[in-house]
């Protein structure tokens, strides 16, 4: 789902803007450094004798400091726009996923929730499990539905029982499954899955930003 969200030109557009912002920052810093070094060099040319050598060394040291500062500022700018880009991609992905889920039929949503619940139930090892979904999806669940799921899963998860939490979860979609009476849970909400995808995307973004133009 994440690939679909960022695959419609959004990523390329954001990356182009990122490169442009970073390049402007580097150019501004280098221009400022060059002007300061030139001013110091002009002052050094007016000096004579041993003072001239000392002045030249001060100019060289200043140039090294300014270059280092420009590099640090450029790196900080790169990291900042990278985080801003990831945050924009995250928000757009979440909005589009919520809209997509809302456009699905009740049957499609219930099938997806069933698959997510089974996956979570396997991770928890079965037992008595409590499901928590958002308010819209809660209306899809009945005792008969949960009972039929549990019955169908007996071969994989002997003794598994399912119930719906009294309070809905504040999530876009998906399901959070908990062990009844315990602290163990599996968060299969869309937000959690997007967060995992976001971290996976981070490395790709860094690679694209640092590749040669």
Note down pLDDT in tens along the chain; length 213 residues. 333 333 334 445 445 555 555 556 555 555 655 555 555 556 555 554 455 566 566 666 666 776 777 777 777 777 777 777 777 777 887 888 888 888 889 999 999 999 999 999 999 999 999 999 999 999 999 999 999 999 999 999 999 999 999 999 999 999 999 999 888 999 999 988 888 877 777 777 667 655 644
Q: Please give the Cα distance from 196 to 172 (Å, whole number).
A: 15
Q: Please give the Cα distance from 48 to 50 (Å, whole number).
A: 7
The answer to whether the beta carbons of residues 117 and 149 sit under 8 Å apart is yes
Dihedral over Cα of 69, 74, 76, 77: its sign: positive
Instruction: Give pLDDT, residue 11.
Output: 47
Residue pointed to by tokens 């971290």: 199
Look at residues 136, 124, 138, 140 and name the one whose alpha carbon lies nearest to residue 182.
124
What pairing do the DSSP bridges indicate for beta strands 161-164 and 128-132? parallel
pTM: 0.60
Question: Which residues does 50 contact at the CB level (< 8 Å), separation at least 6?
Answer: none
Instruction: Give pLDDT, residue 163.
Output: 96
Q: Please give the Cα distance from 149 to 161 (Å, whole number).
A: 9
Instruction: Give pLDDT, residue 1.
Output: 35
Instruction: Give pLDDT, residue 73.
Output: 76
The answer to whether the beta carbons of residues 117 and 165 sit under 8 Å apart is no
Q: What HEC string does 24-43 produce? A: HHHHHHHHHHHHHHHHHHHH
The CATH number assigned to the domain with range 106-189 reads 3.30.2320.30
Q: Please give the Cα distance from 131 to 175 (Å, whole number).
A: 7
Residue extent(s) of CATH 3.30.2320.30 domains in the chain: 106-189
Residue 86 burial (CB < 10 Å; 0-12/13-18/19+)?
Answer: middle
Residue pointed to by tokens 């979860």: 169
> Within 13 Å of residue 75, how many CA atoms lie on the same side as its CB?
6
């Amino acid at each position: 789902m994440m690939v679909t969200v960022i695959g419609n030109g959004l990523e390329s557009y954001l990356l182009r803007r990122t490169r442009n912002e970073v390049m402007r920052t580097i150019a501004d810093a280098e221009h400022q450094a060059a002007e300061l070094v030139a001013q110091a060099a002009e002052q050094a040319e007016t000096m004579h004798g041993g003072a001239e050598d000392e002045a030249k060394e001060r100019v060289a040291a200043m140039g090294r400091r300014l270059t280092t500062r420009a590099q640090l500022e450029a790196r900080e700018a790169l990291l900042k726009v990278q985080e801003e880009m990831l945050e924009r991609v995250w928000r757009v992905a979440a909005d589009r996923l919520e809209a997509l889920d809302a456009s699905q039929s009740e049957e499609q949503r219930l099938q997806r929730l069933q698959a997510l619940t089974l996956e979570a139930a396997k991770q928890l090892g079965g037992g008595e499990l409590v499901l928590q979904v958002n308010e819209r999806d809660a209306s899809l669940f009945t005792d008969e539905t949960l009972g039929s799921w549990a019955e169908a899963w007996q071969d994989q998860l002997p003794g598994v029982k399912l119930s719906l939490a009294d309070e809905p979860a504040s999530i876009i979609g998906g399901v959070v499954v908990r062990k009844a009476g315990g602290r163990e849970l599996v968060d299969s909400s869309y937000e959690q899955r997007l967060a995992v995808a976001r971290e996976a995307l981070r490395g790709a973004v860094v690679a694209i930003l640092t590749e040669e133009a």
